[in-house]
Chain A
Amino acid sequence: MSMSNSEKVKKFLINNTVPILFVVLLFFAIPLSGFSPEYLANEMITRLGRNSFLVLALLIPVMAGMGMNFGIVLGAMAGEIGLIFITDWGVVGINGVFLAMIISTPIAIILGFVAGLILNAAKGREMVTGFMLGFFMNGVYQLFVLYGMGNIIPINNPKILLPRGYGIRNAIDLVNIRQAFDSFIKLKIGDISIPVFSFIIIAILCIFIVWFRKTKLGQDMRAVGQDNDIAAASGIAVKRTRILSIVISTVLACYGQIIFLQNIGTMNTYNSHEQVGTFAVAAILIGGASVAKANISNVFIGVVLFHMTFIVSPRAGKELVGQAQIGEHFRVFVSYAVIAISLALYAWRRQAAKNREIKAVLDEQNEAIENRGGSQ
């Protein structure tokens, strides 16, 4: 049955409510902020290079039907542990970034595996479980970094150790690897500088995701994502596939956090990872993704819209009510609100689809009864 144009428009609007809302918001906020187009373009390119990898890490669990992986916080923690080690050892530049990735990979795999096991036990409630897992692991991470490092694990550099001799300081200066990726290959067009190498890494990940979807494991994940029971009946190891999706996501998040922090140049040891999950999920949802469906374009649209809101809202808030703080609160509010709205919209759509299915079945039954009555 073909849809009419008005139905198509209606469907498009319903499917893209969140991005459209943000485009409208930015349409008013950008002129209010008074930022020049060059400044906005520069900021956007920097933030795309900084954040896209982290957001891309969310795609694979969505494919496996596990929703938004709030557990990427675990990967971020693993990445930070790698960065602490390379800072202690004095490994600098691009070598330091790659070494941090190598060190943190096994940690991310172990954390991802544990998370996968737990999420398998909490089937159907993966997102809230992942969220709580992030909080729980934060405690373990703090114990490890605050008491283990310098005590059990030797840390020699006093610049990163607390004065008492063990535990890592609250802030670590990543001067040795600051923008190592970004300035490795850099292109400057006018006032806009483009971190080419970071974009190459992101492009490689995008290609990997496209390729991965076509592999046997990728197809298995899609089958698991559509229906666990049917996938199991067709011989797919559902639990193993789900665990693998979380492991891959956690490892990618670990690399994403390292890329993020090398761009920032400072690591907040105990807080840097805390809101990684929330912000990444908010970004991909703003890009038009849902809990059940997400693709690469959602990531880039989301990062652009979300971070554009981040850039312009403090200034727009200041111009509008005279206080930049309003804009700051606004952007935190926006992150959580978008997640809440998207989840509500997803639940509403699922309920509507279920109702339509029930209605169709009932109509069919009624029709059959009427036909039977007519023939008698």
Chain B
Amino acid sequence: MKKWIIKISFVAVIVVLGVLLFFFGRQHEIIIEYGDIKINETEYSIGEELYIVKIDSEKIEIQNKTSKFSRSTSTLKTSKIVGPNHSIEVYKNDSPGETIRKDNFSVEINNNAKINLVSFINGFDDWYSQKKIVYDE
């Protein structure tokens, strides 16, 4: 009996470990949207400056397509994050010590994350949303 209890406990621990590894090791896509937005008839934009979006320890450079220095015409940037809990910090490239905004977010196991940068840096609450993982061909 004692042997069986030990065996079953061992299997249960392994199963729990497997679930935790899945939960904390799953990769999610994060989409950063930085196109202009309109809220209450007011238009918001990130302007022409180069922003650094720091998600956990990864730094992503963001610059509006209207900027003459921009090399991209898209208003979306994607990156990968691993696990459920993350932090986001945004600052301008020329002033790295001055954080514009810092916050935390979490991603559910079957979702990808979407961040609206304009909304985030202007202090709105609806800067973050999630979408179910869909595989593209």
Contact = CB atoms under 8 A, between A and B. Distances in A.
Interface in A247-274: none
Contacts of B82: 92-93, 95
Contact of A91 (B27, B133, B137): B27
B17 interface: yes
Given A156-B135, A158-B137, A92 B27 contact: yes
Given A99-B22, A156-B135, A158-B136, A90 B27 contact: yes
Given A92-B82, A99-B21, A102-B14, A176 B27 contact: yes
Contacts of A95: 21-22, 24-25, 82
Contacts of A90: 26-28, 133
Contacts of A99: 18, 21-22, 25
Interface of chain A: mostly helix, strand, loop or mixed? helix
B38 to A, nearest CB: 35
Contacts of A93: 25, 82
Interface string A69-93: 0000000000000000000011111
Interface bracket on B:
10 to 19
A98 interface: yes
B36 to A, nearest CB: 32
Interface in B114-137: 133, 135-137
A90 B112 CA distance: 12
Nearest to A85: B22
Contacts of A157: 135
A338 interface: no
Contacts of B133: 90
A96 interface: yes
A103 interface: yes
B25 A91 contact: yes
Most central of B14, B25, B26 by chain A CB within 10 Å:
B25
A117 B28 CA distance: 43
Contact of A102 (B21, B24, B27, B137): B21
Nearest to B137: A158
B14 A91 contact: no
Contacts of A94: 25
B25 A102 contact: no
Interface in B1-37: 14, 17-18, 21-22, 24-28
Contacts of B17: 98, 102
A179 to B, nearest CB: 16
A98 B82 CA distance: 15
A241 to B, nearest CB: 18
Contacts of B27: 90-92, 176
Nearest to A105: B14
Contacts of B26: 89-92
A285 to B, nearest CB: 35
A310 B28 CA distance: 40
Contacts of B25: 91-96, 99
Given A102-B14, A102-B17, A91 B135 contact: no
A313 B87 CA distance: 51
Interface of A: 89-96, 98-99, 102-103, 105, 156-159, 176
Given A91-B22, A91-B27, A159-B135, 16 more contacts: A90-B28, A90-B133, A91-B21, A91-B26, A93-B82, A95-B24, A95-B25, A95-B82, A96-B21, A98-B17, A102-B14, A102-B18, A105-B14, A156-B135, A157-B135, A158-B135
Interface of B: 14, 17-18, 21-22, 24-28, 82, 133, 135-137
11 contacts: A89-B26, A90-B26, A90-B28, A94-B25, A96-B25, A98-B21, A99-B21, A102-B21, A105-B14, A157-B135, A159-B135
